[in-house]
Structure 1
């Protein structure tokens, strides 16, 4: 069933768990995520990232995501991830997405606020939830979707882009967003070293804003880090790079071990591998205290 982000995260707040948001730029990834959610009977967020328009346009993938969501037997939010182009953000709403992220974090604070308010007013009239970002989440430069000026962040620069808890309170109150993407040490893409997450900052942000916190760069963390983040207020975890990598490596292994190859077989191999990785992540996000292997 198709629901908006506010509805799905309100239940996550009550249950102290996080909902996985999985970018799904191919039919195989969409099927993998939906099958995983239905198998676990867990809510899910199907996302289309603006940068993935290069893989498949939102005009094509959007209706597919919405159709899968409506037919699913679990709550599904269809979400636009990292929408920085206002026309595309509004187009997603008009297509039928139930949630959008307006990412104006690269702007100065005043312009960020002004841009977010414009989208909130447009979206809320249609019962569409809005996520926005304050601070900036870095990228490892490998498999990530976002970089500072097109390049990975320098080692010493990161803390300069972390979300300020006091400013976050002001930002949320002025814009009336439904969820805040906060920067506290995660990165987009593949981790090149063990991440150092500022959980004290995360707790302060959550306490100040009284809204669900979104963790971007959610792939590749330890189970302990996920649980600590959830218990500190994270209710939505964006997860993509490691699931996509699982699908790619499964195809690589299949090709290396089979001589009679057909493309359709590769799609099944990829779907099954992505599904397995998504199930593992979702079990952690549900925060039931079970060790996931």
Structure 2
């Protein structure tokens, strides 16, 4: 898994030129230009063309750029893939409602026919079948990130929308487990209440506690909280430095473990500390640009 963080992943309608332009200055780790839910059927083709022009214009710095296409089961899916494959400025496509590895194979076949076998896929888990097959989806060689689609999933599971997301927690944990088995990142679903910042903060903290790497977002106002909760804290960075220092001393003494503040430090803690410091360095470097 890359050290580049995905704390904040902001959906932007590909039909909204102003929003796509604004994304160049937002503190998002990734931008997902949406051709699916955010675009009305009558605007699909126009949005697709606008997105290609936007990608060619560039100016997004180190932000990861992703295009969410329509499913192959829709009238627009195949055209989306073929057109997006023609953009040298796009390296990642997000696929909605993925339910099996076979679907991913079909997508890769379309991309291969269009001359692009180098595109990575973000697979969205939005249905019971997607959750049931999360492990095989995550293991597909083209998949680099799992993305929860919690709004659709809650509807299909027929669970109520509760602040604690009780009815979704098993599914959320299945996605995290699948991602960890595959060694890839996993993103929590969106939060729809824009006028409830405390609720959003709580959901971010829950997602972090469940093991998610970041949060998908629907509005720039959610960026700061997501970046804070899913990023390394100042205390976490200091702890990581102390863990590595203690480990180095133990290694010099020929020991296989260290003790820090009365707690054992083993290789797993050192690996986590190194990930924390690598992420913190990357964030600091990007903030200087």
- One of 208, 214, 217 as aligned partner of 1:206: 208
- One of 101, 126, 142 as aligned partner of 2:123: 101
Structure 1: runs of 5+ lacking an equivalent: 1-5, 140-145, 235-286
TM-score (norm 1): 0.51
- One of 60, 85, 94 as aligned partner of 1:41: 60
Structure 2: runs of 5+ lacking an equivalent: 9-26, 37-43, 112-118, 232-285
Distance 2:156 2:179 in 1: 29
List per-residue Cα deviations over 1:212-240 (Å, max 9, x = no partner): 3241xx32x352x2221122228xxxxxx
SS at match of 1:20: strand
CA contact (8 A) 1:24 1:30 kept: yes
List per-residue Cα deviations over 1:169-204 (Å, max 9, x = no partner): 961465325222324x614xxx69657634345345
CA contact (8 A) 2:175 2:186 kept: no
Partner of 1:256: none
Following superposition, the deviation at residue 46 of structure 1 comes to 0.9
CA contact (8 A) 1:165 1:205 kept: no
> Relative to structure 1, is the Cα distance of residues 32 and 195 closer, same or farther in structure 2, using a 3 angstrom cutoff?
farther
**Aligned length in residues:** 199
Partner of 2:31: 20
Distance 1:288 1:174 in 2: 28
List per-residue Cα deviations over 1:64-114 (Å, max 9, x = no partner): 11112x2x2xx531221232355433311333352131526525xxx936x
CA contact (8 A) 1:132 1:181 kept: yes
Distance 2:202 2:105 in 1: 35
Distance 2:172 2:135 in 1: 19
SS at match of 1:49: coil
Distance 2:92 2:147 in 1: 16
